[in-house]
Structure 1
Amino acid sequence: MQSVTEEPTSAAAPAEGEEQRTSWLPLILVVSLFFLWGAANNLNDVLIAQFKKAFALSDFGAGLVQSAFYLGYFLVAMPAGMYMRRFGYKSAVVFGLVLYGTGALLFWPAASMAAYGLFLFALFVIASGLAFLETSANPFVTLLGARETATRRLNLAQAFNPLGSIAGILIGQHFIFTGVERSSAQIAAMSAAERAAYFQGETHAVQWPYLVIGVVVLAWACLIVITRFPSLGTAKVSSTGRGVLRKLLGDRRFISALFAQFFYVGAQVGVWSYTIRYVQANMPGTSAKEAANFLTAGLVCFMLGRFAGAALMKYLAPVRLLLVFAAVNIALTLYAVLEPGSSGAYALVACSFFMSVMYPTIFALGVEGRSDDERKLGAALLVMTIIGGAVLTALMGLVSDHFSITTAMSVPACSFAVILLFAWRRNVSVVEVIG
């Protein structure tokens, strides 16, 4: 079996047309990763609602789904960056897919044992694999062309991510949600045997979908192993990781990107995690299966926003587009807080369109102009900020438990304000440089 690291650079570089003929399959495989982790991320939004029913959890307890998931990102992102720095992009991708598939397969015993803790561990393993995938794929895409178009190129590649997100929601909506809704009073009126059967049915609903996902992901890893990847043309490791980290962490511009990404991921995960909960709370009589349609609509808006954003960046600087989109989302999330009901739910749906460009734009602004060593470890640090999804989603759960899910939407509103500040400061610095 051939090595899973990138192919070494040959003595004679291939002609331009030849390189295009030999590299299209690796590029398709890399773009597919955006789809795969999108499906995993947004299945969590379904799991929160499903586990809340299956284990009779509070909003905070159900929110631990995201906490366990994004803790995996946080703890594994830096080891993933170091692994990629040592063994290359392809090896990191394969290892990440193996972890992803293994975590998905763990859902079967977790459901059989009705063990919420084991589910959380399985999600941690999945997220650990995704940390490898995201750390590898995002900087890889920025290397596939001119530096001037790196941000637009990453936005375009990320446009395939919401396709996976939509697929994840549809899988959850049609193959995990059972459509059986029982109030607390109805559950209390059940016999012990009926109650156990109800909870068991809700728990087992996740087994087959995640079994299929695990098998597909592991098969995809095998496909990447046997595919020849072209040389990325990157430099060999030229300095110690400690020295590179010291340089990155001493750069105020890079630190500001870390903060912006932390709050963005927290806002995105928070809005999507509690959209179903918000709709059910403010539109009485709506089942979880019906409420999932709002989440699906939001993901469609997110996908359209990715393509629209990539097109708009031909005419408007990415940082300025980020500034405008952040301002719009502050208004939309505050509207959802002040006007609960169907109009507030539609505001959350629209919010996804304007979130679309934020992650790739902040990411590209964070790594632009950096050496290969700095780009790889910088990517790992930026992926670590995904812990914002754990922290802010848990915070929203606490606010919801103490006040209401409607009030909890003020948390992403504040997060978008942080992104607005980041974009404004970066835009000012760009204007000063041009001036």
Structure 2
Amino acid sequence: MNNSNEVPNYRGPLSVLTVLFFMWGLITSLNDILVPHLKAVFTLSYVQASMIQFCFFTAYFIVSFPAGRLVEGLGYKKGIIFGLCAAAVGCLLFYPAAGAHSYAFFLLALFVLAGGITILQVAANPYVTVLGKPETAASRLTLTQAFNSLGTTVGPLIGAVTILALVEHSTDASSVQMPYVILAGMLLAIAVIISFIKLPQIKGGNDEVQPQNTTPKQEAKSVWQYKHLLLGVVGIFMYVGSEVSIGTYLISLMESPDVAGLSSDVAGRYLALYWGGAMVGRFIGGVVMARVRPNYVLAFNSIANVVLLAIAMAVSGKVAMWALLCMGLFNSIMFPTIFSLALDGLGKFTGKGSGLLCMGIVGGALIPFIQAMFADSLGLLMSFFVPMVGYVYILFYGLKGYRTKPVTAH
């Protein structure tokens, strides 16, 4: 690693990483297509269909911390290649799962796929924070996450025309086979390309890896001593859970006669606006946060989403649909901002901190499941009070929880 005061030019490596962010965004957003599709194919309740997101995001909780150690041992580049290969295996498992017409097999395939993406997240997110100036880490991660949002925007459009359009005419799950086989091929191709590309050798856990303003007085013996990191893990839990929960049930909500009465494939295309808003917001946020303190932007966006949810629940109809679709714009900067604020000052614990933060992504498994229980009992629209709680917590983190506290010596 270059130890001079001059910051190297990392445009090449960052360009490669944006492709990864795009791919796992596309794959993750396809879950929002799978939920209504498999719900129709297997005649599931909301709770049963929520197991799709539950199995996918539970992998983050189980795999994240081991992935942090894996990246520490292999380094970021090999960790990324390993994650791509594992995700490709998960995509390939969709073929026999559809052939066997087994919902349980689909859930297994999703778990394996998510395990690979977890390794990519653990390796790529902190890698972006160290490839450049420390003071612009939040802005840089937000911009690369914008390409993740581009993937989540394209994903529903692809899924709507290749999967959902067939729901009304087919009771089998075969429509998912070719899309996921193609995704597997793309992931493996990227892994091969990355293996031949020279990337900066930055080992996870290296004492030199200090993406933020690390103060010697705040050195700790354990990653668990950083309060702002632990509160950040809860923030990631709340954010991912809330965002995923809204995306998961938006299609079903837009299909409801009381809201918009759209067909499933048309609703799937509208869902792209939700993720597209996140993409636009991240490009804007990347510029704004180079000038405005990231925690202020985080707090403002949290308030906006609480207001939009309140409007949707109070008014219903197409107003509710458009209010929820607009939330994507304000979701945009939340993940990278919470992530970078939580890694502030961790120094040599950056790799382990990234693993802990990725464990918080399990919120994408639990919060949609909790909302599903309320959806089955209270009705789908009223169940959106669940993600509202998540945004209230994020507001707290943006105003107070992000602050780096002196650690207690042991």
| Alignment: residue pair count | 394
Q: How does 1:13-24 map to 2 (within 5 A)?
A: 20=9, 24=11
Contact 1:35 1:161 in 2 (8 A): yes
Residue 220 of structure 1 deviates from its aligned partner by 1.1
Please state if 1:199 is matched with 2:171: yes
Alignment correspondent of 2:185: 215
Q: Pairwise mapping of residues 306-345 of structure 1 onto structure 2 (< 5 A)?
A: 306-345=282-321
Tell me the equivalent position of 2:213: none
State the distance in 2 between where 1:284 and 1:236 align.
53
Matched, 1:424 2:394: no
- Spell out, residue by residue over 1:322-346, the C-alpha distance to the aligned partner (whole angstroms, 9 max, x if none): 0111011001112111111111010
What is the RMSD of the two structures over their aligned residues, measured on CA atoms?
2.3
Counterpart residue number, 1:407: 382
1:246 Cα deviation (Å)?
6.6
Matched, 1:176 2:134: no
Distance in 2 (CA, whole Å) between partners of 1:236 and 1:15 is 18
Contact 1:35 1:162 in 2 (8 A): yes
Aligned to 1:96: 83
Give the Cα separation in 2 of the matches to 1:234 and 1:98: 20
Is the CA contact (8 Å cut-off) linking 2:40 and 2:167 kept in structure 1? no
CA contact (8 A) 1:85 1:237 kept: no
Contact 1:155–1:360 under 8 Å retained in 2: yes
Q: Percent identity, aligned pairs only?
A: 33
Q: Distance in 1 between matches of 2:332 and 2:206?
A: 34
Structure 1's 323 and 16: CA in aligned 2 closer, same or farther, altered over 3 A? closer
Using the alignment, how far apart are the partners of 2:206 and 2:290 within structure 1?
Answer: 33
Residues 396 and 143 of structure 1: CA distance in aligned 2, closer, same or farther (over 3 Å): same
State how far apart, in whole Å, the 1-side matches of 2:261 and 2:137 are: 46
> Shift in Å at residue 231 of structure 1?
2.6
Corresponding residue for residue 211 of structure 2 = none
C-alpha distance in 1 between matches for 2:220 and 2:82: 23
| 1:199 match: secondary structure | coil
Asked if the contact 2:231/2:397 (under 8 Å) is kept, the reply is yes
Matches of 2:220 and 2:94, distance apart in 1:
36
Runs of 5+ unmatched residues, structure 2: 209-218, 405-410
Task: Tell me the SS of whatever aligns to 1:228.
Answer: coil
In 2 relative to 1, CA 141–335 (structure 1 residues): closer, same or farther, beyond 3 Å?
same
The CA distance in 2 between the partners of 1:302 and 1:29, in whole Å, is: 21
Q: Distance in 2 between matches of 1:308 and 1:55?
A: 41
> After TM superposition, where is structure 1 displaced by more than 4 Å over at least 4 residues in a row?
12-17
* Residue in 2 that maps onto 1:396: 371
User: How has the CA–CA distance of structure 1 residues 233 and 99 changed in structure 2, closer, same or farther, with 3 Å as cutoff?
Assistant: closer
CA distance in 2, matches of 1:270, 1:33: 23
Q: Please report the TM-score for the alignment, with normalisation by the length of structure 1.
A: 0.86
Match of 2:327 in 1: 351
CA distance in 2, matches of 1:341, 1:270: 19
For residue 268 of structure 1, what is the aligned residue in structure 2? 243
Secondary structure (helix, strand or coil) at the match of 2:44 reads coil
- The code of the aligned residue for 1:360 comes to P
Report the Cα distance in structure 1 between the residues aligned to 2:26 and 2:302, rounded to whole angstroms: 25
Given candidates 31, 35, 46, the residue that maps to 2:22 is 35
- 1:278 paired with 2:250, answer no
Matched, 1:232 2:202: yes
- Structure 1 residues 237, 82: CA separation in 2 closer, same or farther (over 3 Å shift)? farther
How much has 1:28 moved relative to structure 2?
A: 2.0
Unaligned runs of 5+ in 1: 1-8, 183-197, 239-243, 431-435
Partner amino acid, structure 1, of 2:351: K
Q: Distance in 1 between matches of 2:331 and 2:112?
A: 27
User: CA 1:136–1:55 in 2, change beyond 3 Å: closer, same or farther?
Assistant: same
Distance across 1 between alignment mates of 2:167 and 2:98 = 18
TM-score normalised by length of structure 2: 0.91
d(CA) in 2 for partners of 1:70, 1:364:
21
Distance in 2 (CA, whole Å) between partners of 1:382 and 1:227 is 28
Q: Which has the larger radius of gyration?
A: 1
Deviates more, 1:330-339 or 1:279-288: 279-288
- What is the letter of the counterpart of residue 335 of structure 1? I
SS at match of 1:159: helix
Q: Distance in 2 between matches of 1:82 and 1:94?
A: 15
Q: Aligned pair 1:113/2:100, yes or no?
A: yes
Match for 1:61: what amino acid?
Q
Residues in 1 aligned to 2:268 and 2:312: alpha-carbon distance in whole angstroms: 17
SS at match of 1:75: helix
Contact 2:73 2:204 in 1 (8 A): no
Q: AA paired with 1:93?
A: I
How far apart are residue 378 of structure 1 and its match?
A: 0.2
Determine if contact 2:128/2:141 at 8 Å carries over to the other structure.
yes
